[in-house]
Amino acid sequence: MLKKLLSSLLVVTMILGLVACGGQEAESGSKEGPTLAKIKKEGKLVLGTSADYPPYEWIHKDEDGNSQIVGADVALAQAIADELGVELVVQDMQFNAIIPSLKSGEVDIGIAGLVDNEERREAIDFSESYFAGDQGILVRKEDADKYTSKDSFKGVKMAAQMGTTQDELAKTLTGAEYEGMTNQNNIVLELKNHTIDVMVVAGPPGRQFESLNKDLVYKDVGFEDEGAMSVGVAKGNEDLIEIINKVIASWKEDGKMEEAIAKYSEMSSEEVQELQ
């Protein structure tokens, strides 16, 4: 009888132990996704961006000749890093490499005027929107009167940055001779050199390029707004997105993104360095 009682108690104890262990594992597994755990372990937040998109991200040269990537998006990334209590590391790359780099874990977050859409949501997840802008064209000032609407591009040589919302838009314009390019600074140079006639571009960088190049002008020709810009994160990191959304909500409430865009829009052309 005693042996049976001891055996029963042993079985109950083992069952309770397994349940407790299982509960701890479930609780532990629910605390942090892989990216947040990596960020905390390494003490750094790696931002993937494409630094050819003023005033969101570009290369700035200070008085001592040192170059660094700055802009409104970088300021937002810094706020996220501050919230996490880690160092921000900025990694520059081609725009169309950001999503693959998020998926591979090479970078932790992607911020580069990245518009949230259904196609991209198949590959990565997005935060809440932090800004939504317009989009139009950048042209030589001498040719500005030629382009009055989105139906003005028959036979026109046109370019936009590959992988962007403007890339997709340009492909739909009837009659245009379109070429996708990887770098916006290079597209501006092609425009100035008369190799192309029109650059399709988002409003804030388009107006920034206009202010930095007196022979160019940004025009609204009736395109729809660009869409909601958000922070990109690899799938399976809801906890990190929750932290990012907290920062974005604070920025929206305080108008910090508009302030950052205004600040970096005031930079002179001498402070913009062409990407190599």
Q: What is the pLDDT of residues 104-139, one digit of tens each?
A: 999 999 999 999 999 999 999 999 999 988 999 999
Q: Which structural domains are found in the chain, ordered by start?
A: 34-133+227-271 (3.40.190.10), 135-219 (3.40.190.10)
Residue 105 to residue 99: CA distance in whole angstroms = 10
Label residue 8 by pLDDT band (50, 70, 90). Answer: very low
Task: Give the CB-side neighbour count of residue 84, counting CA atoms within 13 A.
Answer: 31
**Residue 123 confidence (pLDDT):** 97
Residue type, 99: I
Average pLDDT, the chain: 87
Q: Is the pLDDT of residue 70 over 90?
A: yes
**Residue 15 confidence (pLDDT):** 42
Q: What is the pLDDT of residues 23-69, one digit of tens each?
A: 333 334 457 899 999 999 999 999 999 999 989 999 988 788 888 99
Q: Is the pLDDT of residue 2 over 50?
A: no
pTM above 0.85, yes or no: no
DSSP H helical ranges for 127-172: 165-171
In angstroms and rounded to an integer, the radius of gyration of the C-alpha atoms of the chain is: 24
Terminal-residue alpha carbon distance, the chain: 84
Which residue reads 């597209």 in tokens?
Answer: 187
